[in-house]
Structure formats: C-alpha cells, structure tokens
Amino acid sequence: MSEKGTQISEFGKYGLISHLTSDFKPVNKSTVKGTGDDAAIIENGKKMTLVSTDLLLEGIHFNLIYTPMKHLGYKTVIRAISDIYAMNGTPEQLLVSLGISSRFSVEQIEEFYEGISLACIKYKTDLAGGDTTSSVTGLTISVTAVGSAEKGNIIRRDTARPNDLICVTGDFGASFMGLQLLERERRLYEKDKNIQPDLSGYDYVAGRQLKPEFPAAVLQELAGAGIKPTAMIDVTEGLASDLIQICRSSGTGCRIFYSRIPVDYETGKAAEEFNIDPITPALNGGEDYELLFSVALEDAERIKQLKSVKVIGHMTAPGTGYFIAGDDGSEVELTAQGWSGRK
Amino acid sequence: MSEKGTQISEFGKYGLISHLTSDFKPVNKSTVKGTGDDAAIIENGKKMTLVSTDLLLEGIHFNLIYTPMKHLGYKTVIRAISDIYAMNGTPEQLLVSLGISSRFSVEQIEEFYEGISLACIKYKTDLAGGDTTSSVTGLTISVTAVGSAEKGNIIRRDTARPNDLICVTGDFGASFMGLQLLERERRLYEKDKNIQPDLSGYDYVAGRQLKPEFPAAVLQELAGAGIKPTAMIDVTEGLASDLIQICRSSGTGCRIFYSRIPVDYETGKAAEEFNIDPITPALNGGEDYELLFSVALEDAERIKQLKSVKVIGHMTAPGTGYFIAGDDGSEVELTAQGWSGRK
C-alpha cells in the first residue's frame, strides 16, 4: 500500500468518521439516527432499538501483560453497554466476535468469556451472538451492544442548549493514571524479571483501568427525581473531548470549572508521582466510563439533591468557545485530543 | 501469554463458539434466539429485529495486494447482510468499525467507504454507525448488520426435518478458485515484479472472490411462489460445512448428489489447472454468498419451477450421517472443515 496521500493523523478521531460518512443518506424509515451519536437509533413502533459497536485491538486498547483475560472480558462488556446507557437506553443483548491467534489456549478464551458472563449477569444483558475467527496478530475483539428505549426517553448528544448545567458522575483521570502505573511496572519488569509489580496504595486507579463499572443506577436516580437530561454522552475518550463532542453536535459553547472536576485522592497521588497536574488525566485521560450530561437550569435545585451527580459548569451561547476556568478567574481553552494510539 | 493448555485448533469453528457460549442463559424476554444462528433475534412486538456481526482481519480474510479497497468495502457489506438474508430478513442498517494502521492514507479509507456506499445503495441498507480506531497491525474491519422480519417469516437453522429437499442458489467453489488464481499471480509477482497479473478467461471466478453479490431476489421469488423454507443458512464457510451446520442444529442427516452440485465452467477450468477435483472447492471452498435451504417435500413441484434454485439432495433421519452420493451409487461422508486460517 502506498504511504502517499493524506495522513489519517491529520483528522481528529471524530473528524475522520464524520468526514467518511457525511455523504451517506438513510433510505429506510426505521433509521432514525445514523452515524454521529453513541448508538444507532432504529424505530420499531413505540419502542426504539439502539445498536452500538466497538473494536478493541491488542497493543492499542489493551496490553495482555498486565490485563487478566477475565477482566478484559468484563471491560469489553462495560465498554459496549456504556454506549447504550449514554442514550438513556437499557442494554439487552451483546454480540462478541473474537480474532484469536494460535498463541492463545482455549482456557484463556474461556477466562475471557467468564468475564463476559460476570458482566452480563451484573448488567442483565444477554450474549446473543458473535463468532470466533483466527488471527495472525494477537487478540482482536469486536463487540456490538443492542438495547431498547421508549421513544420519548432517548437522550442524544446534539440537544444541549445554552445555559444548561453540565453534570458528571464519578471521578476522572483514575483509569489513565492506573494505566500509567501498570505501564511503569511493566517497563521495570521487562528490565528485571525479578521485580514484582508494586501497585500498593493504588488499588482504586488500577481497578478503574482493569475492571471498570458503569454508573447505570444514576439513570434511574435521574428518572426518579423527574430530571431528563437535555444531552448525554459516556466519557470514554476523555472529559474534554466528549464535552466538546456534545457542544459541537449541539452548537453550544461551554464553561467548566477547574475546582469542580471530581478527581480521586489516588489519582492525585499518582499524578504527583509522575509530576503532572491531575487535571490533565482528568480532562484528557479517557476510559472513565462515567456519564456526562446537561440539564435545564430549572432543574438546578433537584440535581443538587443527587449525591452521585456533580455540576461542573454550564453550556454557553454558540461561538463562545470551550473553556475551563481557574479559581483565579483565568480561562484556558479545552481541546479535543486528536487521533492517538490509546483510543 | 502461555502456550500451555488446549489448542484452539482442536475445536472446529462452530465447535469453539458453542463451547464458549453454552452456559449463557438469556434473561431479557426480548432475546428470542441468542448464539447459534446467522443472526440474533430480538423481539419488538410483532416485528423482529435481527442483528449479526462479522470481524474481518487483514492477512486472514483479505489480502490487500490484489484486493482493491473499494471492492473490500463492497464485500464487507455483502458479508454482513448475507447473515440477515439467511434468516429471511431484510437488512436495513449497518455499523462499520475500522482499525487502521498509519500505513493507510485517508484516500484509501475513502475508497473503502465508496465501496460500502455502492453496496448500501444496491441493497437498500443504511450506514448507521461505527467508528475508526488506530491499529498497529494493518486493517481490521468489524461490521454489524441490523435487519427486520415479521415474526412468522423468520427462518432458522434448526428447523429442517427428515425428507425435506435441500436447495441452493447459484454455483459453488468459484470464489475459492478465484482466490487460488489471485494467490498464484501474487506469488509470481513477488518473484518477478515485471510480471503482469494474468487472469484472462477467469473474470467470473475472480469477481466472485473480489466483489461478490448476494441472491436477495430469490427470497422474494420463494415468497411469491408461496414456498417457506423449513431451514436456511448463507454459504460462507463452505457448502459441506454450512449444510452440516443446519443438520446438526436440526438433528437430521443428509444425502446430497455429486452430479447436482452447481459448478461454473470457469471454476472447473481453474480446478483442472490446479489439478484438483472441482467438487473440493465446491464443497469446502467457502465465501460463496449463496443461500442453502430446505423445503418440505410437498413443495417439490413448485420449487422446480424456480430457475434460480436447484435441488441437490434431501434431509434424512437423525443419526444417518451426512453423505454425498456419486453417480455410481458410492457414498462419501461430508466433513465440516475445522478451524482454518482462511475463515
């Protein structure tokens, strides 16, 4: 193949796919929403079917030196259902296809499926299909999640409005710092095989990287409190990147506040060890598997009652940019991370 | 990773996935049929949603030395919608995810999407999602097809009965012989870069490998003739392997007849050049993208009226094995090809 032509790195992640798919026009009336959101929306009478797909490659999305196969299976499910929850849907089915090189034993693949099974049970999702194929290059995982939602309940990315409050669940940057620690231990181990990995004091961040959960219960809390977010996304690329994605789709600007971004103690401690500001992994780390959503200003009082949700800023008028404000009033522009190896 | 444990090659292709997924029990009532058929069946009131997924890896499923990117995009769509048609459904949406190494230019990926677009238009299917991710190992394609069918119209693999007639569309072995010719030209070219590939007289078999079509119209012909097949599958693994798959799922045996297997003239000519019996690629080649189905004996007269369908044998009682009979009355047992590189 030729190396000539436009480099793919010239496009951002979201830029490339929208460039490639912008000319496709749906012809089936069941296609309500095609490319450009967390999941495809397919109409079936009153109920809507949501479908999303993910591709996970060894050496890009996971490293088997420190990732147990069972955790990898579990995380594969979380990653897939995350896209369905992000539309306010309920995941119901999963299809998992594997490309497996001869390096793997059946027992290892069984462990992977054990992890799939554990997550399926916990998140009440059925394995409903998939396949295995041989591979020359390690492990490749393709996962499709199917879910459902009532027509009026779906929450898209492109419907945030100026002045809406920007809300998040959980905390940010932990998974990324967990990955840095695991990578550091791997490098030490490769230099000296007698060294035992030492992650003491970092159980939380390592766990967030290796076996994440999804805050599905928050969707019920929101419904219970009578709050319907105006737009929603799951944070997998990074808080900044996913927030900008909502803003671009909705045509809004945003202001978030440095001091309000939730960061766990361990994330801060690990960032200190690596001599970086914890806000960097929190904004750009990714793989947080948290919800990011906007709510109407009139829901302000009700949203503050929910302990699992934190308001971190607000949407602003179109064309006013994407900014994070410091305590001293200074403002820094948020940037979406481009095409990177670790996405 | 350890090389210890059970080798994956000890399982056949269908064997491994059923071994891995046999313990999964559906919990959602929308999950009508999980693993073990062409597509998952999901209930939405009267209509059923069908979902299938495929994973295509460079070096296993395609070789970019002789596969134009546009054809590859086209074939990706055929492969995906083939699983939906094989359930007697109508494909409506596609989700395509790509893993792309830095070796590829944006223009090459655009060509791939052009092929996707051409096939989507021809088969009235909407691109409704997907993503791109970076890869360290060439091109990886994950494709999910979503379709619909009326509840009573779905045709599964596990519902053939003894005495049903075994029917096929099109002809077999052409795609495999096309691949052999392309591979031969590749090897010649690698030895001497001045040699131009020569596929003259082999347009049909090369086309069947590089840019296959699917006989979707036959499903309408069957419906128009008032024939509902008792079981159906698309032939992608190989006629023998896919027939055995129907038999195993349905608990039947089968007898097919050597002289009735449709083989194109070019397939025979190519087989002769390679000094093999054309029945071998016809039975075991795979990637034919034809329909294989069974119909009730009382439909015999009506099925013979359909020019695009050929009866090649019949289902037999449970436990009577899977056989192909020669003109001289001799019988040879059919075998499902095991785990192989080219599947």
Within 8 A of A237 by CB-CB distance, chain B residues are: none
Q: B138 Cβ partners below 8 Å, 6+ apart?
A: A137, B58, B59, B64, B101, B103
Residue A12's pLDDT band (cuts 50, 70, 90): low
Distance of CA A177 to the CA centre of its chain: 16
Lowest mean pLDDT among A168-182, A300-314, B35-49, B158-172: B35-49
**Order of strands, sheet of B290-295, starting from the edge strand that comes earlier in the sequence:** B231-235, B290-295, B165-169, B309-316, B253-257, B322-325, B331-333
Helix (H), strand (E) at residue B322 = strand B322-325
Overall average pLDDT of the B193-200 stretch = 82
Instruction: Provide, as residue numbers in chain B, all residues whose Cβ is less than 8 Å from the Cβ of A245.
Output: none
Instruction: Look at residue A15 and give its three-state secondary structure.
Output: helix
Residue among B244, B236, B238 nearest B261 (CA): B238
- Of the candidates A81, A127, A112, the residue with the CA atom closest to the CA atom of residue B26: A127
Per-residue confidence band for B1, with pLDDT thresholds at 50, 70 and 90: very low
Question: What are the structural domain ranges in chain A?
Answer: 8-153, 165-333
Q: Determine the pLDDT at residue A307.
A: 95
Q: Is residue B134 scored above 70 in pLDDT?
A: yes
Q: What residues of A are in contact with residue B236 (Cβ under 8 Å)? A: none
Provide the shortest C-alpha distance from residue B148 to chain A (in Å): 9
How high is the pLDDT of residue A36?
Answer: 64
Tell me which chain A residues have a C-beta less than 8 angstroms from the C-beta of B95: 40, 51-53, 144
Of all residues in chain B, the one with the smallest CA distance to A7 is: B105
Contacts of B47 in chain A (CB under 8 A): 44-45
Using the beta-carbon criterion (under 8 Å), do B133 and A16 form an inter-chain contact? Answer: no
Q: Which of B137, B148, B157, B339 to mutate to test the interface with A (most CBs of A within 10 A)?
A: B137
Q: For the segment A88-138, what is each residue's pLDDT rounded down to a tens digit? A: 999 999 999 999 998 898 899 999 999 999 999 999 999 888 888 888 888
Compute the Cα dihedral for A295, A299, A301, A305 and give only its sign: negative
Phi, psi of B69 (to 5 degrees): -55, -35
User: A2 pLDDT exceeds 70?
Assistant: no
Q: Does domain A8-153 have CATH number 1.10.274.10?
A: no
Looking at every residue in chain A, the average pLDDT score rounds to 90
Provide the pLDDT for residue A35. 63
Residue A134 confidence (pLDDT): 86
User: B128 and A33: CB-CB below 8 Å?
Assistant: yes
Q: Give the confidence band of B308 by pLDDT, cuts at 50, 70, 90.
A: very high
Mutation test of the interface with chain A: which of B105, B116, B123, B151, choosing the one with the most A Cβ atoms within 10 A? B105
Which of A334-343, B5-14, B154-163 is least confident?
Answer: A334-343
The Cα–Cα gap between A38 and A242 comes to: 11
The alpha-carbon gap from B286 to the nearest alpha carbon of chain A, in Å, equals: 14
Nearest to A342 by CA among A211, A237, A190: A237
Tell me, what's the pLDDT at B18? 74
For A47, the token pair is 């109920």
Any idea what the Cα angle at residue A212 is, between residues A91 and A275, rounded to 5°?
A: 145
Q: Is residue B338 pLDDT above 50, yes or no?
A: no
Q: What is residue B36's predicted lDDT score, i.e. its pLDDT? A: 64
Q: For B165-333, CATH number?
A: 3.90.650.10
**Degrees, nearest 5: CA angle A52-A56-A57:** 155
Distance CA B68, CA B206 (A): 12
User: B240 pairs with which residues across the strands?
Assistant: none
B8-153 and B165-333, same CATH topology = no
Q: Which of A7, A9, A29, A30 to mutate to test the interface with B (most CBs of B within 10 A)?
A: A30
- Cα–Cα distance measured from residue B343 to residue B339, given in angstroms and rounded to the nearest whole number: 8
Q: How far apart are CA A273 and CA A200, in angstroms?
A: 14
In sequence order, the 6+-apart residues with CB closer than 8 A to the CB of A276 are none
Looking at the predicted structure, is the pLDDT value of residue B204 above 90?
Answer: yes
Please compute Rg for chain B using Cα positions. 20
- Residue among B54, B59, B92 whose CB faces A30 most closely: B92
Q: What is the mean pLDDT of residues A43-66?
A: 88
Per the CB < 8 Å rule, is B95 touching A17?
Answer: no
Among chain B residues, CA nearest to A3 = B103
CA distance A147 to A37: 14
pTM across the whole model: 0.89
CB–CB of A8 and B39 under 8 A? Answer: no
Give the pLDDT confidence of B222-269 residue by residue, as tens digits: 999 999 999 999 999 999 999 999 999 999 999 999 999 999 999 999
A11 pLDDT tier (thresholds 50, 70, 90): low
Measured between beta carbons, which residues in chain A are less than 8 angstroms from residue B132?
8, 13, 16-17, 20
